[in-house]
């Protein structure tokens, strides 16, 4: 395993360690589809430079959200990400791991202190979650009745494992299996992926394995999707558990390899252009898991979309304004011809591989009118089957988010990377 000045150390943390811890903690929020506030970014810099302590950071965050919530200007998701990030930094800079059930419970409490009311309590309800990487399908977690026993077996098995005299390949395969099992047990009701990531960092330190923060900082969403694929199986569709994606994550992290960790490689039904995952170490492309029988492919020769969308990118913002009821009705009828509806294309590009709320999608599109957005963008996209709800049985769920369906992903793939890139640059320039 490689050495690095950015390794987590047991020594008193210096500026580089503080910076690395913050980068990791902030980056990890993407694993659960969250992002931190600009306020936290600015405050973290004061801690990195040594101007304030981590306790002072915590107090400033408390004061910031006390004032915002009192004025009804709060943002629960940003508050979640900010508070969790502060907690993770504290843990990474000074925390040790007690690898027992009580130790894991204590770690969860430390990560989500002030965030979740049930922090530090084992899960008492069943959980399922629709996953983008599975085309909207769900992954199964350990049932509540067996949760405690599953944790005991996992810990006991790991304690019996001998790390001495094992090859790097065997070590990485074993670590991937352990981390995957912890995640699949899903010991706690909230923040499962972030908890698993912090556990992984502390356990690597406990084992004395040198590693860099970079992979978690930049690729926590890939880490989440790799965990999903390692624990998903559908015999009818001929899809089996695939730990290779998680192993490649660890190969980058521990061996310094350079696998391309973009999420589209991990999808159960990748487009032809994403069916091969590259490793720039060797300059060659290594064949990824083949798209298996029972799944569908996007045709390799799909033509790039050529329509009025190209002109819109150069001339105006994406919104089609309905100046009359008749025009609004005409726009809604384009659901059947979504290929020619620029609103739907712009929305699909903004969502991409993510789970986004209405507010986040509107921010990405630089729109302010919620009613117009629902009528001209989100409504048509859902109606024509390109976008689905994370909680389809509860449309007004407080944590409702939206993701592209397989049809939506195919739509983007057929649009072509050049057009998608042009739209992304257009939106970024707004």
Pair 177, 228 in one domain: yes
Q: Do 262 and 222 meet the contact criterion of CB atoms below 8 Å apart?
A: yes
Pair 141, 253 in one domain: yes
Could you tell me the two tokens for 161? 């494992």
pLDDT at 129: 83
φ and ψ of 240, to 5 deg? -110, 170
Burial 162-171 (b: 16+ CB within 10 A, else e): eeeeeeeeeb
pLDDT at 244: 97
Pair 177, 67 in one domain: yes
Number of domains in the chain: 2
Q: CATH number for the domain including 337?
A: 1.10.10
Query: Residue 99 sits in which domain range?
Result: 15-287
The predicted-structure confidence for 217-259, as pLDDT tens digits, reads as follows 889 999 999 999 999 999 888 899 999 999 999 999 999 999 9
Q: Is 294 domain-assigned?
A: no
In angstroms, the CA 239 to CA 161 distance is 29
Domain boundary among 287, 318, 352: 287
In angstroms, the CA 117 to CA 335 distance is 42
Q: Is 73 helix (H, G, I), strand (E, B) or coil?
A: coil
In angstroms and rounded to an integer, the radius of gyration of the C-alpha atoms of the chain is 23
Domain boundary among 218, 253, 287: 287
The predicted-structure confidence for 147-199, as pLDDT tens digits, reads as follows 999 999 999 999 999 988 889 999 999 999 999 999 999 999 999 999 999 99
What is the separation of C-alpha 409 from the centre of its chain, rounded to a whole number of angstroms? 17
Q: Is 293 domain-assigned?
A: no
Pair 188, 39 in one domain: yes
In angstroms, the CA 365 to CA 377 distance is 10
Helix (H) or strand (E) holding 312: helix 309-315
In angstroms, the CA 383 to CA 236 distance is 28
Pair 279, 313 in one domain: no
Q: Is 405 domain-assigned?
A: yes
In angstroms, the CA 171 to CA 158 distance is 12
Pair 272, 210 in one domain: yes
Q: Do 370 and 364 meet the contact criterion of CB atoms below 8 Å apart?
A: no
pLDDT at 415: 82
Which position has the token pair 């599975």? 134
Q: Give the chain's largest Cα–Cα span.
A: 74
**What number of other Cβ atoms are within 10 A of residue 116's Cβ?**
19
In angstroms, the CA 234 to CA 253 distance is 29
Q: What is the DSSP string of 241-287?
A: --THHHHHHHHHHHH---B---GGGGSSS--GGGSEEEETTTTEEEE
Pair 327, 249 in one domain: no
Q: Is 7 domain-assigned?
A: no
Q: Is 169 helix (H, G, I), strand (E, B) or coil?
A: helix
Pair 317, 250 in one domain: no
Q: Is 299 domain-assigned?
A: no
pTM above 0.75, yes or no: no
pLDDT at 320: 36
List C-alpha distances in Å: 136 to 243, 265, 284, 394.
20, 16, 32, 16
Pair 147, 182 in one domain: yes
Q: Is 302 domain-assigned?
A: no
pLDDT at 398: 76
In the beta sheet, which residues pair with residue 388? 403
Q: Is 301 domain-assigned?
A: no
Query: How, if at all, do strands 402-404 and 284-287 pair?
Result: unpaired
Pair 266, 334 in one domain: no
Residue ranges of the chain with per-residue pLDDT less than 50:
1-10, 283-335
Query: Quick one: CA dihedral 57, 63, 69, 74, positive or negative?
Result: negative
Q: Is 4 domain-assigned?
A: no
Pair 279, 159 in one domain: yes
Pair 268, 325 in one domain: no
Q: CATH number for the domain including 141?
A: 1.10.3290.10
């Amino acid at each position: 395993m490689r050495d690095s000045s950015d390794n987590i150390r047991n020594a008193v943390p210096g500026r580089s360690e503080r910076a690395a811890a913050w980068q990791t903690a902030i980056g990890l929020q993407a694993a659960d589809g969250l992002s931190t506030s600009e306020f936290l970014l600015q405050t973290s810099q004061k801690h990195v430079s040594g101007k304030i302590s981590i306790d002072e950071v915590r107090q400033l965050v408390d004061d910031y959200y006390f004032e915002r919530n009192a004025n009804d200007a709060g943002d629960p998701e940003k508050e979640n990400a900010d508070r969790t990030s502060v907690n993770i930094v504290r843990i990474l800079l000074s925390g040790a791991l007690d690898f027992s059930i009580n130790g894991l419970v204590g770690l969860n409490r430390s990560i989500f202190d002030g965030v979740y009311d049930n922090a530090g309590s084992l899960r008492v309800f069943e959980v399922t979650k629709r996953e983008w990487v599975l085309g909207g399908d769900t992954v199964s977690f350990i049932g509540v009745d067996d949760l405690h026993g599953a944790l005991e077996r996992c810990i006991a098995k790991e304690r019996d494992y001998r790390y001495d005299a094992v090859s790097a390949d065997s070590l990485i395969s074993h670590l991937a299996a352990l981390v995957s099992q912890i995640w699949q047990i899903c010991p706690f009701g909230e923040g499962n992926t972030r908890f698993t990531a912090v556990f992984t960092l502390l356990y690597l330190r406990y084992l004395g394995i040198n590693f860099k923060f970079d992979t978690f900082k930049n690729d926590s969403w890939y880490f989440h999707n790799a965990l999903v694929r390692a624990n998903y199986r559908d015999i009818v569709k001929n899809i089996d558990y695939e730990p290779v994606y998680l192993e490649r994550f660890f190969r980058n992290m521990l061996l310094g390899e350079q696998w391309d960790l973009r999420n589209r490689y991990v999808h159960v039904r990748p487009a032809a252009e994403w069916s091969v995952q590259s490793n720039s170490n060797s300059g060659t492309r290594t064949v990824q898991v083949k798209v298996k029988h029972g799944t569908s492919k996007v045709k390799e020769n799909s033509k790039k979309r050529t329509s009025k969308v190209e002109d819109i990118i150069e001339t105006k913002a994406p919104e089609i304004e309905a100046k009359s009821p008749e025009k609004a009705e005409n726009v809604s009828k384009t659901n059947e011809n979504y290929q020619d509806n620029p609103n739907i294309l712009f929305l699909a590009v903004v969502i991409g591989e993510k789970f986004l709320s209405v507010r986040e999608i509107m921010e990405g599109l630089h729109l302010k009118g919620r009613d117009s957005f629902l009528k001209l963008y989100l409504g048509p996209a859902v109606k024509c089957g390109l976008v689905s709800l994370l909680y389809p049985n509860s449309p007004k769920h407080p944590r409702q988010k939206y993701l592209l369906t397989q049809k939506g992903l195919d739509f983007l793939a057929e649009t072509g990377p050049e057009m998608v890139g042009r739209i992304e640059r257009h939106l970024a320039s707004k």
